[in-house]
């Protein structure tokens, strides 16, 4: 899911040209065990993950079959990821952090990992260590036709957990609901070096002396609203000349939304975004982080480059809007272990916001069939999606926006900000009266305020 439309201010700054894979990446060997991690310390650590007496190792994948893993379930790369399958391995030629390889734990339904919770994910591999390993959680209905398919996932940096050709991650390091796991995946590639996978399994023990690093904080990832009967529009930056139209629709429909705002756009005086978003704040909308220059930041080759994307966005919010936010939407929805960890280094308990309704404006807004944005919206809402991604880059998207709002109102679902729909105790309380009162699509009312008091609909 990748918007290809460039933002209005993109041409104003040469620093926006993609840095991704611009230079060859020098690979370092896996870090040695620091001397303070003595064998006794490691044994102690291992002891804190007691093995279940009857814990049975589970071989997930030895890559002997091109389409199925050892459990008999699907494995394979995402469409754009070049790969080569041999007997007993799969070699991945990544070129983009969004590419991924999944090996599934069930027939696209939920797999209960809880009996294994004190055990370890073991991967045998060679080549790059510059990727993320994730354990993915299915949606509430364990139904792959619902949106989102993956409700959330947790992830670790391969490099921190690997030595030589082995990678061991305590399953306890994946902070998800492990009664509903669906797959193990490899993604977040930030090098073009190939990665070859030989084995994926769950084991009861790690080799003596194998160092397991502490889990790093990394923030939670959300793809849908958790509050019952709620719905949220998460709107990414767009064109300065369309923002007044968006504001008018929001006022007339009396809804609150969340804007994900890029630092560089906010600093661009000509675009007037700092005035615009101050106004949005006054009107009660949520303004949330969206990086500094809108790149696939997981693909940047240094932590410093990732940090700059985060820190400059935070600083710009403080300086120009006077606000702080712990909500972040990764540009293009691209996120891996490093981005998540760095967000947690700068923000307390960051909330990373993806989506379960994609208007696909990036695909259709400027095409000959802009109405396919409607199809996309209704398709995803029909599948249970309730957290939207859209941009106001094209008049066609703005034109459909009111229809989207009215449709959600017509099915009596409450539209609110993302923080409200995620039941954030720090969010302003949702005001159902204000919302329902305006649910009748009437912009003006001649009646006196007393009459309006009784008018809930």
Ligand X SMILES: *[C@@H]1O[C@H](CO)[C@@H](O)[C@H](O)[C@H]1NC(C)=O
Per CB under 5 A, contacts with Zn ion among 232-291 are 236
130 class by beta-carbon count within 10 Å (0-12 exposed, 13-18 middle, 19+ buried): buried
236 binds, among Zn ion, ligand X, none (CB under 5 to 8 A by kind): Zn ion
What is the smallest separation between the CB atom of 270 and ligand X, expressed in angstroms?
A: 9
27 binds, among ligand X, Zn ion, none (CB under 5 to 8 A by kind): none
40 binds, among ligand X, Zn ion, none (CB under 5 to 8 A by kind): ligand X
Q: Draw the binding track, 223-242, toward Zn ion (x: CB under 5 A; -: no contact).
A: -------------x------
What is the smallest separation between the CB atom of 457 and ligand X, expressed in angstroms?
A: 30
Cβ distance to ligand X smaller for residue 292 or 358: 358
> Phi then psi for 273, rounded to 5 degrees?
-65, -30
Cβ distance to Zn ion smaller for residue 331 or 336: 331
Per CB under 5 A, contacts with Zn ion among 282-341 are 331
41 binds, among ligand X, Zn ion, none (CB under 5 to 8 A by kind): ligand X
275 binds, among Zn ion, ligand X, none (CB under 5 to 8 A by kind): ligand X
| Residue whose C-beta lies closest to Zn ion | 236
276 binds, among Zn ion, ligand X, none (CB under 5 to 8 A by kind): ligand X
Cβ distance to ligand X smaller for residue 358 or 419: 358
Cβ distance to ligand X smaller for residue 202 or 280: 280
148 binds, among ligand X, Zn ion, none (CB under 5 to 8 A by kind): ligand X
Cβ distance to ligand X smaller for residue 275 or 445: 275
What is the smallest separation between the CB atom of 277 and ligand X, expressed in angstroms?
A: 9
Cβ distance to Zn ion smaller for residue 200 or 232: 232
Which residues bind to ligand X, rule: CB under 6 A?
A: 1, 38, 40-41, 44, 148, 223, 272, 275-276, 279, 333, 335, 354-356, 358
229 binds, among ligand X, Zn ion, none (CB under 5 to 8 A by kind): none
What is the smallest separation between the CB atom of 286 and Zn ion, expressed in angstroms?
A: 16
What is the smallest separation between the CB atom of 155 and ligand X, expressed in angstroms?
A: 9
Q: How far, in Å, CA of 406 to CA of 303, rounded?
A: 43
45 binds, among Zn ion, ligand X, none (CB under 5 to 8 A by kind): none
> Phi then psi for 231, rounded to 5 degrees?
-155, 140
Cβ distance to Zn ion smaller for residue 77 or 331: 331
Cβ distance to ligand X smaller for residue 148 or 238: 148
What is the smallest separation between the CB atom of 210 and Zn ion, expressed in angstroms?
A: 40
What is the smallest separation between the CB atom of 330 and ligand X, expressed in angstroms?
A: 6
What is the smallest separation between the CB atom of 330 and Zn ion, expressed in angstroms?
A: 9
Q: Give the per-residue SS3 of the chain.
A: CCCCCCCCCHHHCHHHCCCCCCCCCCCCCCCCCCCCCCHHHHHHHHHCCCCCCCCCCEEEECCCCCCECCCCCEEEECCCCEEEEECCEEEEECCCCCCEEEEECCCCCCECCHHHCCCEEEEEEEECCCCEEEEEEECCCCCCCCCCCEEEEEEEEHHHHEECCEEEEEHHHCCCCHHHEEEEEEECCCCCCCEEEEEEEEECCCCCCCCCCCCCCCCEEECCCCCCCEEEEEEECCCHHHHHHHHHHHHHHCCCCEEEECHHHHHCHHHCHHHHHHHHHHCCCEEEECCCCCCCHHHCCCHHHHHHHHHHHHHHHHHHHCCCCCEECCHHHCCCHHHHHHHHHHCCCCEEECCCEECCHHHHCCCCCCCHHHHHHHHHHHCCCCEEEEECCCHHHHHHHHHHHHHHHHCCCEEECHHHHCCCCCCCCCCHHHHHHHHHCCCCCCCCHHHHHCCCC
Cβ distance to Zn ion smaller for residue 157 or 236: 236
* Selection from 156, 149, 123, 327 nearest residue 224 by Cα: 149
Binding site for Zn ion (CB under 5 A): 236, 331
């Amino acid at each position: 899911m990748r918007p290809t439309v460039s933002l209005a201010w993109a041409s104003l700054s040469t620093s926006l040209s993609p840095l991704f894979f611009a230079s060859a990446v020098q690979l370092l060997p896996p870090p040695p065990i620091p001397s303070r991690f003595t064998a006794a310390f490691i044994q102690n650590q291992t002891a804190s993950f007691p093995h279940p007496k009857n814990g049975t190792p589970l071989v997930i994948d030895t890559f002997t079959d091109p389409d199925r893993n050892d459990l008999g379930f699907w494995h394979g790369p995402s469409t754009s990821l070049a790969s080569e399958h041999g007997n007993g391995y799969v070699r991945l030629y990544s070129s983009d952090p969004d590419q991924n390889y999944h090996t599934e734990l069930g027939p696209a339904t939920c797999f209960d990992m809880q009996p294994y919770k004190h055990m370890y994910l073991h991967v045998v591999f060679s080549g790059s260590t510059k990727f993320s390993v994730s354990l993915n959680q299915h949606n509430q209905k364990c139904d792959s036709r619902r949106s989102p398919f993956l409700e959330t996932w947790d992830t670790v940096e391969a490099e921190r957990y690997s030595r030589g050709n082995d990678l061991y991650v305590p399953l306890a390091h994946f902070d998800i609901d492990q009664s509903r796991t669906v797959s193990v995946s490899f993604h977040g590639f930030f090098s073009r070096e190939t990665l070859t996978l030989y084995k994926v399994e769950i084991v009861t023990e790690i080799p003596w002396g194998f160092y397991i690093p502490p889990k790093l904080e990394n923030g939670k990832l959300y793809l849908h609203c958790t509050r019952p009967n709620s719905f949220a529009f998460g709107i990414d930056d767009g064109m300065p000349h369309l923002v007044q139209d968006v504001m008018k629709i929001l006022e007339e429909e009396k809804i609150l939304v969340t804007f994900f705002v890029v630092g560089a756009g906010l600093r661009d005086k000509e675009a007037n975004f700092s005035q615009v978003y101050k106004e949005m704040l006054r009107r009660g909308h949520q303004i949330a982080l969206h990086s500094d220059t809108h790149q696939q930041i997981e693909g940047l080759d240094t932590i410093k480059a990732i940090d700059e994307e985060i820190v400059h966005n935070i600083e710009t919010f403080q300086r120009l809007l006077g606000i702080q936010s712990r909500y972040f939407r990764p540009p293009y929805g691209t996120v891996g272990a490093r981005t998540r960890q760095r967000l947690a280094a700068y923000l307390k308990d960051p909330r990373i916001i993806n989506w379960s309704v994609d208007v696909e404006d990036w695909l259709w807004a400027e095409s000959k069939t802009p109405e396919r944005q409607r199809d996309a919206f209704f398709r995803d809402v029909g599948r249970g999606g309730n957290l939207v991604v859209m941009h106001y880059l094209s008049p066609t998207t703005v034109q459909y926006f009111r229809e989207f709002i009215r449709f959600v109102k017509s099915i009596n679902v409450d539209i609110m900000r993302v923080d409200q729909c995620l039941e954030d105790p720090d969010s302003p309380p949702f005001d159902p009266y204000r919302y329902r009162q305006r649910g009748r699509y009437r912009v003006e009312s001649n009646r006196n305020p007393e009459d309006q008091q009784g008018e809930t609909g």
